[in-house]
Amino acid sequence: MTTSKPATNTDPNALGRVTFLDGQGDLPMLEISTPWSTAEIYLLGAHVTQFKKKDEPPLLFLSQCSRFNEGHPIRGGIPVIFPWFGQREGLGQHGFARVKSWDLKEVLPAPDGSVSVRFRLPDCPEAAAFPPFTADYVVTVNQSLTLQLIVTNQSKDAEFTFENCLHTYFEVADATAISIHGLKGVSYLDKVASFLEKTETSDALRVASEVDRIFLNTAGTVEILDPRIGRRIRVEKQSSASTVVWNPWIAKSRQMSDFGDEEYEHMICVESGNVASNSISLPPGGISTLTVKLSSETLK
């Protein structure tokens, strides 16, 4: 199906538009167009697979080998990780939110040309292991991409403890040429070194081998400088105490069936959330809103 919902605006060049399409694997998808940018979001996982400003290369990396099948995560873009991060004994990796088809609840074009869409995680058997909750996800597209994961504990008497993470894959020209700024002095768990706790000592984190680090107790903005593209990417966040940096490098890339052997050269994950010791415990009736804003500008 193909239908559109334009914003109300007297200037036709400033309209935001949402088109409903069958995407890859015939999965339902939203295509969003604004005066500044375009984006694609699949209902599977409420998964943003593309954000592109009109004068720039794509901001998000999407693997050419990604599966687009119900019940399987999409490789690349922005997976929504909830209600746990990483492995959990007897259960799938990174929670169940990224492999469920979310319900589209609202399409909200704004008069200035911005477009917001709101999704809700539907009831599912896996949620029965937790206190009753709702999870909403609001994506706003304009000159930047803003993401809000809103979790409400609907229990009257039970605390709800969970992890969340927006597992963002960024497109870069050459992973070995980029630098990541904003993490100096922050303690991290180094998964490559059996989760040994270390402290980042460099002003600029660079990639020259497999990187898999959970930076803890950090709310700061992170920037990715990509001199080959000539772009600075800013990752701003609120209500997030963790930042994860990941590049699988050579061996891990070859082990992943939904990831190209050489694709590690063109991606870096800088993920925002609350994981490990930064997990969230919501009291009955409590609300948690994880907000991440992704923006970019030309490197001067």
Would you name the residues annotated as active-site residues? Answer: 167, 271
Q: Classify residue 12 by its DSSP letter.
A: G
Structure tokens at 32: 């969003």
Rounded CA-CA distance 32/42 in Å is 11
CB atoms closer than 10 angstroms to residue 198: 12
β-sheet bridge partners, residue 166: 80, 272
Q: What distance in Å separates the CA atoms of residue 272 and residue 198, rounded to the nearest whole number?
A: 19
**Sign, Cα dihedral of 260, 262, 267, 270:** positive
On whether the CB atoms of residues 282 and 155 are closer than 8 A, the answer is no
DSSP assignment string, 35-67? SSEEEEEETBTTEEEEEEETTS--SB-B-TT--
